[in-house]
Amino acid sequence: GEDVEQSLFLSVREGDSSVINCTYTDSSSTYLYWYKQEPGAGLQLLTYIFSNMDMKQDQRLTVLLNKKDKHLSLRIADTQTGDSAIYFCAEMDSSYKLIFGSGTRLLVRP
Amino acid sequence: DGGITQSPKYLFRKEGQNVTLSCEQNLNHDAMYWYRQDPGQGLRLIYYSQIVNDFQKGDIAEGYSVSREKKESFPLTVTSAQKNPTAFYLCASNSIYRENEKLFFGSGTQLSVL
């Protein structure tokens, strides 16, 4: 079945760039998403990319998609302490359900 | 404002007790979902519904039940058959008949066993 994998933890210094990586298995996914979860809260949609795109930029966020390798990344420029959270990658399967990765916990050090 | 409302924020269950988590949305979304999140882990799909009066099992449906009598509401019952119910439960919804059916989430319910 479909599977989405992420590294569990990333630590960066404030002001540096963060890059969170994700791999997925379903080559028919039309949209791929990045969600952010702060402690004790629901998931907030950060950005998404259509599968026929290679890159999407939205302010400090850049999403790169390598469809051949089924690899998705999220780059956060000028990372701030408020960016500390868990980031989930997700792909949409053929029945419109989202398959989530296990999440990457981002810690931003002052 | 449109959104998804989950209640309560915190819920405690006694042994052998059934409890029901509420999820209401006013986004006119067709589909609703329940996910379970355990500490340090990702989201696992419990049940989902894409139309009123119909729902499907997700990956971990055992010990749970749902109903979808109204488009706006998708309550989840955690039954006594669920032996390890302590988790953070997230409800979500989207419109599956429009392109790019982004999923919107409620703020979650933390369920603990007394």
Three-class secondary structure of residue A107 per DSSP: strand
Specify the pLDDT at position A21.
97
- pLDDT, tens digit, for every residue of B37-59? 998 778 999 999 999 999 999 99
Q: Which of A69, A83, A70 lies closest to A32 in space, CA to CA?
A: A70
* Range with the poorest average pLDDT among A28-42, B53-67, B90-104: B90-104
Q: If interface means Cβ-Cβ distance under 8 Å, which residues of chain B face chain A? A: 4, 6, 31, 33, 35, 40-43, 45, 48, 50, 58, 88, 90, 92, 94, 96, 100-108, 110
- Which residues lie closer than 8 Å to B75 by C-beta, 6 or more apart? B20, B21, B22, B23, B66, B67
Q: Find the CB nearest A96 among B41, B96, B105.
A: B96
Where are the alpha helices (H) located in A49-95, listed in sequence order? none
Tens digit of pLDDT for each residue in B2-13?
699 999 999 999
